[in-house]
Amino acid sequence: MTTFFKTTALACAFALIAGASLAQDAATTKVTPTLETAKVGEVYLAEKSDPWELRCTKIETGQGPCQIFQLLRDETGGAVAEFNMFVIPEGKDAVAGAVVVVPLETLLEAGLLIAVDDAPAKGYSFAYCTGYGCIARVGFTAEELDAMKAGSAASLTIVPAQIKDSKVTLTLSLAGFSDLIEKTQPAN
Protein backbone atom coordinates (compact mmCIF):
# COMPACT_ATOMS: atom_id res chain seq x y z
CA MET A 1 0.00 0.00 0.00
CA THR A 2 2.88 2.40 0.77
CA THR A 3 4.31 1.77 -2.70
CA PHE A 4 0.95 2.74 -4.21
CA PHE A 5 0.96 6.09 -2.38
CA LYS A 6 4.57 6.84 -3.34
CA THR A 7 3.89 5.97 -6.99
CA THR A 8 0.70 8.05 -6.97
CA ALA A 9 2.53 10.97 -5.32
CA LEU A 10 5.29 10.87 -7.93
CA ALA A 11 2.73 10.69 -10.74
CA CYS A 12 1.00 13.75 -9.25
CA ALA A 13 4.34 15.57 -9.08
CA PHE A 14 4.95 14.93 -12.77
CA ALA A 15 1.39 16.00 -13.59
CA LEU A 16 1.84 19.27 -11.68
CA ILE A 17 5.11 20.00 -13.45
CA ALA A 18 3.75 18.99 -16.85
CA GLY A 19 0.70 21.19 -16.28
CA ALA A 20 2.91 24.16 -15.52
CA SER A 21 4.96 23.40 -18.60
CA LEU A 22 1.97 24.08 -20.84
CA ALA A 23 2.09 27.72 -19.79
CA GLN A 24 5.86 27.61 -20.07
CA ASP A 25 5.65 26.35 -23.68
CA ALA A 26 3.47 29.32 -24.54
CA ALA A 27 5.94 31.70 -22.91
CA THR A 28 8.99 30.33 -24.72
CA THR A 29 10.89 33.02 -26.61
CA LYS A 30 9.50 33.50 -30.09
CA VAL A 31 12.18 32.39 -32.52
CA THR A 32 12.22 33.62 -36.11
CA PRO A 33 13.29 30.92 -38.59
CA THR A 34 16.31 32.68 -40.16
CA LEU A 35 18.65 35.67 -39.95
CA GLU A 36 17.23 36.92 -43.25
CA THR A 37 13.63 36.98 -41.97
CA ALA A 38 14.45 38.35 -38.51
CA LYS A 39 14.12 42.04 -37.68
CA VAL A 40 16.76 43.85 -35.63
CA GLY A 41 16.37 42.77 -32.01
CA GLU A 42 14.56 39.52 -32.82
CA VAL A 43 15.86 36.09 -31.84
CA TYR A 44 16.32 33.70 -34.77
CA LEU A 45 17.31 30.07 -35.20
CA ALA A 46 20.89 30.11 -36.50
CA GLU A 47 21.47 26.36 -36.35
CA LYS A 48 19.82 23.21 -35.07
CA SER A 49 21.61 20.10 -33.86
CA ASP A 50 19.00 17.99 -32.07
CA PRO A 51 18.26 18.40 -29.25
CA TRP A 52 20.09 21.76 -29.22
CA GLU A 53 19.23 25.00 -30.99
CA LEU A 54 21.67 27.86 -31.56
CA ARG A 55 19.58 31.00 -31.08
CA CYS A 56 21.00 34.41 -31.94
CA THR A 57 19.76 37.98 -31.79
CA LYS A 58 19.86 40.00 -34.98
CA ILE A 59 21.69 43.31 -34.76
CA GLU A 60 22.02 46.00 -37.43
CA THR A 61 25.20 44.46 -38.80
CA GLY A 62 23.83 40.88 -38.86
CA GLN A 63 24.34 38.21 -36.21
CA GLY A 64 24.52 39.37 -32.63
CA PRO A 65 24.94 37.44 -29.38
CA CYS A 66 23.95 33.77 -29.39
CA GLN A 67 22.99 31.11 -26.86
CA ILE A 68 22.24 27.42 -27.09
CA PHE A 69 18.84 26.17 -26.02
CA GLN A 70 17.37 22.80 -25.08
CA LEU A 71 13.81 22.05 -23.99
CA LEU A 72 13.83 19.35 -21.30
CA ARG A 73 10.97 16.88 -21.28
CA ASP A 74 9.69 14.26 -18.85
CA GLU A 75 9.33 10.58 -19.74
CA THR A 76 5.89 11.21 -21.27
CA GLY A 77 7.26 13.90 -23.60
CA GLY A 78 5.82 16.83 -21.68
CA ALA A 79 7.91 20.00 -21.64
CA VAL A 80 9.22 20.67 -18.13
CA ALA A 81 12.23 23.00 -18.23
CA GLU A 82 14.29 25.23 -20.51
CA PHE A 83 18.09 25.27 -20.50
CA ASN A 84 19.82 28.27 -22.16
CA MET A 85 23.62 28.50 -22.15
CA PHE A 86 26.25 30.92 -23.46
CA VAL A 87 29.97 31.67 -23.19
CA ILE A 88 31.01 34.58 -20.96
CA PRO A 89 33.77 36.98 -22.09
CA GLU A 90 37.22 36.37 -20.62
CA GLY A 91 38.19 37.95 -17.33
CA LYS A 92 35.28 36.63 -15.27
CA ASP A 93 35.23 33.85 -12.64
CA ALA A 94 32.80 31.85 -14.77
CA VAL A 95 33.54 31.02 -18.41
CA ALA A 96 29.97 30.08 -19.30
CA GLY A 97 26.54 30.87 -17.96
CA ALA A 98 23.13 29.28 -18.11
CA VAL A 99 19.60 30.36 -17.45
CA VAL A 100 17.36 27.47 -16.40
CA VAL A 101 13.58 27.93 -16.30
CA VAL A 102 11.50 25.42 -14.31
CA PRO A 103 7.77 25.27 -13.41
CA LEU A 104 6.25 27.58 -10.81
CA GLU A 105 5.37 24.60 -8.59
CA THR A 106 9.07 23.96 -7.87
CA LEU A 107 10.24 23.99 -4.24
CA LEU A 108 12.66 26.93 -4.40
CA GLU A 109 14.61 26.24 -1.20
CA ALA A 110 15.56 22.79 -2.56
CA GLY A 111 17.39 24.53 -5.41
CA LEU A 112 18.49 23.06 -8.70
CA LEU A 113 20.95 20.17 -8.83
CA ILE A 114 23.08 19.63 -11.94
CA ALA A 115 25.34 16.60 -12.46
CA VAL A 116 27.34 15.71 -15.56
CA ASP A 117 27.45 11.97 -16.26
CA ASP A 118 28.38 10.23 -12.98
CA ALA A 119 30.02 13.24 -11.29
CA PRO A 120 28.54 14.49 -8.01
CA ALA A 121 25.71 16.99 -8.39
CA LYS A 122 26.29 20.66 -7.68
CA GLY A 123 23.51 22.82 -6.24
CA TYR A 124 22.33 26.20 -7.51
CA SER A 125 19.78 28.64 -6.10
CA PHE A 126 16.79 30.02 -7.90
CA ALA A 127 17.03 33.78 -8.51
CA TYR A 128 13.36 34.67 -9.00
CA CYS A 129 10.04 33.55 -10.48
CA THR A 130 7.92 35.16 -13.18
CA GLY A 131 4.49 34.32 -14.53
CA TYR A 132 5.86 31.46 -16.62
CA GLY A 133 8.42 29.82 -14.33
CA CYS A 134 11.24 30.06 -11.82
CA ILE A 135 14.72 31.00 -12.98
CA ALA A 136 18.14 29.81 -11.85
CA ARG A 137 21.15 31.70 -13.17
CA VAL A 138 24.17 29.40 -13.19
CA GLY A 139 27.86 30.12 -13.73
CA PHE A 140 30.22 27.38 -14.91
CA THR A 141 33.99 27.27 -14.39
CA ALA A 142 36.37 26.18 -17.14
CA GLU A 143 36.58 22.72 -15.54
CA GLU A 144 32.79 22.38 -15.40
CA LEU A 145 32.46 23.51 -19.03
CA ASP A 146 35.13 21.01 -20.09
CA ALA A 147 33.24 18.24 -18.27
CA MET A 148 30.09 19.15 -20.18
CA LYS A 149 31.99 19.15 -23.49
CA ALA A 150 33.38 15.69 -22.73
CA GLY A 151 30.15 14.34 -21.22
CA SER A 152 27.25 12.51 -22.78
CA ALA A 153 24.44 13.77 -20.53
CA ALA A 154 23.72 15.92 -17.52
CA SER A 155 20.90 15.51 -15.06
CA LEU A 156 18.89 18.38 -13.63
CA THR A 157 16.97 17.65 -10.45
CA ILE A 158 14.18 19.73 -8.95
CA VAL A 159 11.69 19.10 -6.15
CA PRO A 160 7.94 19.67 -6.60
CA ALA A 161 6.59 22.07 -3.95
CA GLN A 162 3.44 19.99 -3.48
CA ILE A 163 5.37 16.75 -2.80
CA LYS A 164 8.53 17.75 -0.97
CA ASP A 165 9.82 14.23 -0.43
CA SER A 166 10.07 13.44 -4.16
CA LYS A 167 12.49 14.57 -6.84
CA VAL A 168 12.09 15.10 -10.56
CA THR A 169 15.22 14.42 -12.59
CA LEU A 170 15.44 15.54 -16.20
CA THR A 171 18.10 14.57 -18.72
CA LEU A 172 20.04 17.25 -20.58
CA SER A 173 21.61 15.67 -23.64
CA LEU A 174 25.16 16.84 -24.31
CA ALA A 175 25.19 15.44 -27.86
CA GLY A 176 26.34 18.27 -30.15
CA PHE A 177 26.99 20.54 -27.15
CA SER A 178 30.74 20.92 -27.72
CA ASP A 179 30.38 22.33 -31.23
CA LEU A 180 27.45 24.64 -30.55
CA ILE A 181 28.67 26.21 -27.29
CA GLU A 182 31.69 27.61 -29.15
CA LYS A 183 29.32 29.44 -31.51
CA THR A 184 27.70 31.47 -28.72
CA GLN A 185 30.39 34.14 -28.84
CA PRO A 186 29.01 37.43 -30.16
CA ALA A 187 30.03 38.19 -33.75
CA ASN A 188 32.70 40.85 -34.18
Has this prediction a pTM greater than 0.85? Answer: no
pLDDT (tens, 9 = 90+) of the chain, 188 residues, equals 333 333 333 333 333 333 333 333 334 567 888 888 888 999 999 999 999 999 999 999 888 899 999 999 988 999 999 999 999 988 888 999 999 999 999 999 999 999 999 999 999 999 999 998 999 999 999 999 999 999 999 999 999 999 988 999 999 999 999 999 989 974 44
Alpha carbon distance 72, 79 (integer Å): 6
Among 186, 140, 179, 148, which residue's Cα sits nearest to residue 47? 179
Alpha-helix runs per DSSP H in 68-164: 142-150
Looking at the DSSP bridge assignments, the partners of residue 62 are 59
Class assignment of domain 2-184?
Answer: mainly beta
Domain ranges, ordered by start, for the chain:
2-184
